[in-house]
Each structure stands twice: as structure tokens, then as C-alpha cells.
Amino acid sequence: MTTVIYRHHETDVPRASAEGDALWLPQPALAELTGWELKPKGLCREAVCVPVPANAADQYVRGDAVNVAAFWQRLGRPVRHAADGTVWVLGDAAADRSQELQNLEAPDFVLPDLAGNPHALSEHRGKKVLLWTWASW
């Protein structure tokens, strides 16, 4: 089983295939996890599209599957995986994070309370929020 971690998601993807530094995800799973979809223009999310390199298309798309690691690298975003390929983390790029924060958009997130119930920051739109961190260590 291949587990893919992105933002607050940690998802088992049954039809994923990890081959070295390539992570092949079925299109629907990729779209559901990250919001990126394969279109004629390339891999797209909202207004942004990353074209499939013409001379290496088979390293990026294979039937219904997309090598998300290859696209992530083209986007300048970090990707890491366990040595045995069973766990992958898709990260965000410094430039994107910087832009988001400098646009003063508070990144949304979902985290659990002590009982394990998930809560999203965006549930509190319409209120002023003090987001405050602490730790037991």
C-alpha cells in the first residue's frame, strides 16, 4: 500500500505505483488529493497548467496514471519518500508559500482536537481568530 501525504491529508492510494523516484497515481486519486487534474494543456489546477514535456511524455503520463513526483519537481516543490517507496510526502515550494503569506492569505488547515474530531480554520470565517501555538516540550 502506498500512502501519500499532502498538506493535512494522509491518504492510502490503492492503485499507486512507486518506482524509484517516480510516483504514479491514478488521475482521480491525484485530483482528489491535490486538486491537480490532467487536461489537454497538461497538469492543471485552477488557472495554472504545467505542460507535459513533449520529449519525455512517458515519464509524466502513463495511461490513466500521472507521475506526480515528476510534475512536483517541475513546479519546484519538494518531494520525499521512504526508502521502500511506501510513504510519500508532497511539499510546497518556498516561492509559493512566500507569495501566499505576502498576499496575507491565511493558509487553511484541518487539525484534530483531543477527541480526534477534525476542525478547519476556515470554519471560523466571520470571526477574528488568534492562532496561537504552544507545546508540552
Phi-psi region of 34 (alpha: psi -120 to 50; beta: other; left: phi over 0): alpha
Residue 1 within binding range of another protein, rule CB under 8 A: no
Choice between 26 and 91, CB closer to another protein: 91
Stretch that binds another protein, among 25-33, 34-42, 53-61, 97-105 (CB under 8 A): 97-105
- Contacts of residue 39, Cβ cutoff 8 Å, sequence gap at least 6: 49
Stretch that binds another protein, among 14-22, 43-51, 53-61, 113-121 (CB under 8 A): 113-121
**Within 13 A of 35's CA, how many CA atoms are on the CB side?**
8
Residue 56 within binding range of another protein, rule CB under 8 A: no
Choice between 54 and 83, CB closer to another protein: 83
DSSP SS3 for 101: helix
| DSSP string computed for 106-121 | ----EEE-TTS-EEEG
- Report, in Å, the least distance between residue 71 CB and another protein: 16
Q: CB neighbours (10 Å) of residue 33?
A: 19
Q: Rule CB under 8 A: which residues touch another protein?
A: 3, 5, 7-8, 10, 77-83, 87, 89, 91-94, 97-98, 101-102, 104-109, 111-114, 119, 121-122, 124-137
